[in-house]
C-alpha cells in the first residue's frame, strides 16, 4: 500500500488547479488520471473573463488558450434572436488545449491509473492496489467513484445527456458564428456553439433522454433539430459525413454537495453541476480546485468539513439562476424569453451566473 498526504483523483481543470495551488502552499500532491494521453473531453469550452483572470494566476494566459476573443452572446429560439455584448471578452477553447497547459504545471501525475472505489483503507485502483491518503480531492467530473457516488435522484426522472460534435473550420461557418457564443433553445434541450482555438466550431448540446429516445439516435436527433430550428440547421449543415458524436449520460444539473466530511474535498462537477448554458462549468471547476487547496493549506484535512458547505453556498446563486433560465429555455416559453431579452438583461444574467474566484 502507498500513502500520500494529498491525493487528487482526476486530472481535468479542477484536479490540475488543485495540484498547482497545493504545491504553491507547500503540499506536494499526487494526481491520478485514468487516461494515458490528454484527450478532448466533452465540454462547451467557454471561459469567462473571471476564469481567465484566475487561470493567469496559475500561469496560463488567455492568448495561450485562444488568441481570438468571444465578445458577444447570441440567443435563438424558434424565429426569434437576441444579441448582446458580453460584460468582458471571453475565450472558447478545447479541453485538450486547456488540460494540456494546466497539466504541464503539475509536478506529480500518474497516467493510465484509474480509481475503482473508495474503501475503508483507501482508494482502490483498477490494478487492485490501494492508495491511502489523509485528504482526497475528488475531481472525476461527471463520472462517479464507487463509494462516493452522487444520489440517483439528482439525475431526475428524465435525465439529461450531453452530446458534442465538432464542425470543421469553414469561411461560411465563420461568417455565421464569428466572435459570438451562441445558445440555441429548443424543446427539452439547448445547444451551445462557439469557435475554438484551431478554428473549428464546437457544438455542444444538453438534451433530455426522452427527446433522444423519440428521435432514435444522436444523428437523427441532430437532423430533426436542424429541420425544426433553421438557424441551428444552418450550423449543423456543416457537420461532415460520419463525424463523431460524443456523448455523456445522466448529467445531474442543479446538484450541489452541501455537507462536508473531514479529508474529502469534492471539486468541479463533484461539488456542484451548473446547467451548461451558463458557460461556467469550467469556471466552477477551476475555482473549486484553488479554493479547496487553499482551505487545506490553512486547516489541513479537517478543513473540508467547513469548506464543502461553504463552496455549496458560493455556487448557489449561479447554479440557481442558470437552472431558472434552463427551465424556461427548454419549454414552450423559450421564444417569448428570447423575444423579450434585451442587452442589459442578458448582461445581468451573464454576471449572475459567474462564480467568484477568491478562496472560499
State which H helix or E strand residue 72 sits in: strand 70-77
DSSP 155: G
Cα–Cα distance for residue pair 350/85, rounded to 1 Å: 10
Domain ranges of the chain: 2-44+95-155+254-330
pLDDT digits (tens, 9 = 90+) for 188-238: 999 999 999 999 999 999 999 999 999 999 999 999 999 999 999 999 999
Average pLDDT estimate for 89-99: 98
pLDDT digits (tens, 9 = 90+) for 275-330: 999 999 999 999 999 999 999 999 999 999 999 999 999 999 999 999 999 999 99
By the 8 A CB rule, do 277 and 183 touch?
Answer: yes
pLDDT for the residue numbered 154: 82
pLDDT for the residue numbered 357: 64
State which H helix or E strand residue 144 sits in: none
pLDDT for the residue numbered 359: 47
Band the pLDDT of 155: cuts 50, 70, 90: confident
Cα–Cα distance for residue pair 77/79, rounded to 1 Å: 6
Q: What is the pTM of this model?
A: 0.96
pLDDT digits (tens, 9 = 90+) for 332-356: 999 999 999 999 999 999 999 999 8
Three cell numbers, residue 126: 483498477
By the 8 A CB rule, do 16 and 103 touch?
Answer: yes
Pick among 3.90.950.20, 3.50.50.60, 3.30.420.10, 3.30.70.2740: CATH of 2-44+95-155+254-330: 3.50.50.60
pLDDT digits (tens, 9 = 90+) for 43-85: 999 999 999 999 999 999 999 999 999 999 999 999 999 999 9
Query: What average pLDDT is seen over the chain?
Result: 95
pLDDT for the residue numbered 358: 53
pLDDT for the residue numbered 195: 97
Between strands 246-251 and 264-266, the pairing is: unpaired
pLDDT for the residue numbered 347: 93
Amino acid at each position: 500500500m502507498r500513502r500520500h498526504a494529498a491525493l487528487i483523483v482526476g486530472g481535468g481543470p479542477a484536479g490540475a488547479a488543485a495540484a498547482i495551488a497545493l504545491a504553491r502552499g507547500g503540499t506536494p500532491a499526487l494526481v491520478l488520471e485514468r487516461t494515458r494521453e490528454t484527450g478532448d473531453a466533452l465540454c462547451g469550452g467557454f471561459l469567462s473573463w473571471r476564469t481567465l483572470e484566475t487561470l493567469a494566476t496559475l500561469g496560463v494566459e488567455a492568448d495561450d488558450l485562444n488568441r481570438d476573443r468571444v465578445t458577444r452572446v447570441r440567443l435563438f429560439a424558434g424565429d426569434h434572436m437576441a444579441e448582446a455584448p458580453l460584460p468582458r471578452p471571453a475565450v472558447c477553447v478545447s479541453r485538450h488545449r486547456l488540460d494540456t497547459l494546466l497539466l504541464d504545471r503539475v509536478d506529480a501525475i500518474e497516467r493510465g491509473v484509474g480509481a475503482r472505489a473508495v474503501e475503508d483503507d483507501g482508494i482502490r485502483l483498477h490494478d487492485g492496489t490501494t492508495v491511502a491518503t489523509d485528504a482526497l480531492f475528488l475531481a472525476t467530473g461527471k463520472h462517479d467513484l464507487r463509494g462516493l457516488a452522487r444520489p440517483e435522484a439528482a439525475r431526475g426522472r428524465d435525465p439529461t445527456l450531453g452530446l458534442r460534435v465538432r464542425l470543421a473550420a469553414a469561411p461560411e461557418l465563420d461568417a455565421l458564428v464569428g466572435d459570438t457564443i451562441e445558445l440555441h433553445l429548443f424543446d427539452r434541450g439547448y445547444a451551445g456553439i462557439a469557435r475554438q482555438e484551431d478554428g473549428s466550431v464546437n457544438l455542444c448540446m444538453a438534451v433530455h433522454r426522452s427527446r433522444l429516445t423519440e428521435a432514435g439516435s444522436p444523428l437523427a436527433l441532430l437532423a430533426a433539430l436542424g429541420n425544426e430550428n433553421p438557424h441551428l440547421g444552418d450550423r449543423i449543415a456543416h457537420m461532415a459525413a460520419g463525424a463523431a458524436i460524443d456523448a455523456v449520460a445522466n448529467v445531474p444539473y442543479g446538484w450541489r454537495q452541501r455537507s462536508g466530511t473531514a479529508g474529502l474535498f469534492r471539486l468541479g462537477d463533484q461539488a456542484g453541476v451548473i446547467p451548461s448554458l451558463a458557460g461556467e462549468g469550467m469556471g466552477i471547476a477551476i475555482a473549486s480546485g484553488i479554493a479547496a487547496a487553499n482551505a487545506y493549506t490553512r486547516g489541513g484535512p479537517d478543513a473540508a468539513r467547513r469548506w464543502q458547505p461553504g463552496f455549496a453556498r458560493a455556487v448557489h446563486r449561479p447554479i440557481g439562476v442558470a437552472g431558472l433560465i434552463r427551465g424556461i429555455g427548454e419549454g414552450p416559453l423559450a421564444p417569448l424569453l428570447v423575444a423579450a431579452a434585451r442587452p442589459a438583461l442578458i448582461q445581468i444574467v451573464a454576471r449572475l451566473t459567474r462564480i467568484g474566484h477568491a478562496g472560499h
